[in-house]
Amino acid sequence: MSAPHDDDVVLLVHDAIDAAALIQFVRAETDGAIVTFDGFVRNESHGRRALYLDYDAYESMAMAKMSEIAAQVREKYAIHRVAIVHRLGRLQVSETSVFIAVSAAHRAAAFDACRFAIDTLKRTVPIWKKEYFEDGAVWADGELPPVPSNQASPPSSASPGASSGQTPTPNGALPAAPDGALPPVTDGAPPPAPAATPAAKPAS
């Protein structure tokens, strides 16, 4: 696996993300452009007013995947520096959950690299969120990537599908509820996914 460059920043944090500091970090006199992605908490989801979010992660795996993304960005695009930071824990409306900054000599490489970084992060990094509303909470669909079979799950982590009595789909997303309704989920960490049913013994 490729390693991130020493000049890059890859972090999981539990406090507010300092976007200005990250922009300043990637900036240099040899650069001609900086492109950023600022993902933050909105006040609505699925037509319901959101109060706040909780982000959780398999932290060691998430850091490894984020570092791999930073290395891939360098391999694919002519950039100078990249910073990728994701916040965990409880976030209020308008607080930044993920921030990416990419500097480059030319804007095209910076734009392409930033888009690649956030799209790959959302698709591959094991970070997921729980959305809280006035009448309950749900794990966001598609936010939990599958855990490799050789990776032991932390005691407080599991597939969100089990917490609502639904079977997870192969990519970790919850199947759609009838009529577009959101399945209720109890507070706390999702319980473990049900064990696979043993195969039937062949007839004698």
Residue-wise pLDDT for 91-100, tens only, equals 999 999 999 9
Confidence of residue 174 (pLDDT cuts 50, 70, 90): very low
- Six-digit token string for 88: 């965990």
Q: Work out the number of other CB atoms within 10 angstroms of the CB of residue 28.
A: 12
Domain extent for 53: 9-134
Please check whether residue 83 is in contact with residue 101, taking contact to mean a CB–CB distance below 8 angstroms: yes
Domain for residue 45, yes or no? yes
Cα–Cα distance between 113 and 170 in angstroms, integer? Answer: 28
Domain for residue 180, yes or no? no
- What pLDDT was estimated at residue 47? 86
pLDDT at 17 > cutoff 50: yes
What is the count of structural domains for the chain?
1
For residue 126, is it left (φ>0), alpha (ψ between -120 and 50) or beta? beta
The arithmetic mean of pLDDT across residues 52-80, rounded, is 96
What SS3 state is found at 94?
coil
Please check whether residue 100 is in contact with residue 66, taking contact to mean a CB–CB distance below 8 angstroms: no
Domain for residue 36, yes or no? yes
Predicted model pTM: 0.69
Domain for residue 193, yes or no? no
Domain for residue 203, yes or no? no
CATH number at residue 120: 3.90.1170.40
- Nearest CA to 45 among 129, 159, 160, 149? 129
The arithmetic mean of pLDDT across residues 39-53, rounded, is 92
Domain for residue 95, yes or no? yes
- What pLDDT was estimated at residue 7? 85
136-160 pLDDT, tens digit each: 888 886 444 445 455 444 434 333 3
The arithmetic mean of pLDDT across residues 5-11, rounded, is 86
For residue 136, is it left (φ>0), alpha (ψ between -120 and 50) or beta? left
Domain for residue 152, yes or no? no
The fraction of the chain above a pLDDT of 90, given in percent, is 59
Domain for residue 201, yes or no? no
105 Cβ partners below 8 Å, 6+ apart? 30, 31, 32, 33, 78, 80
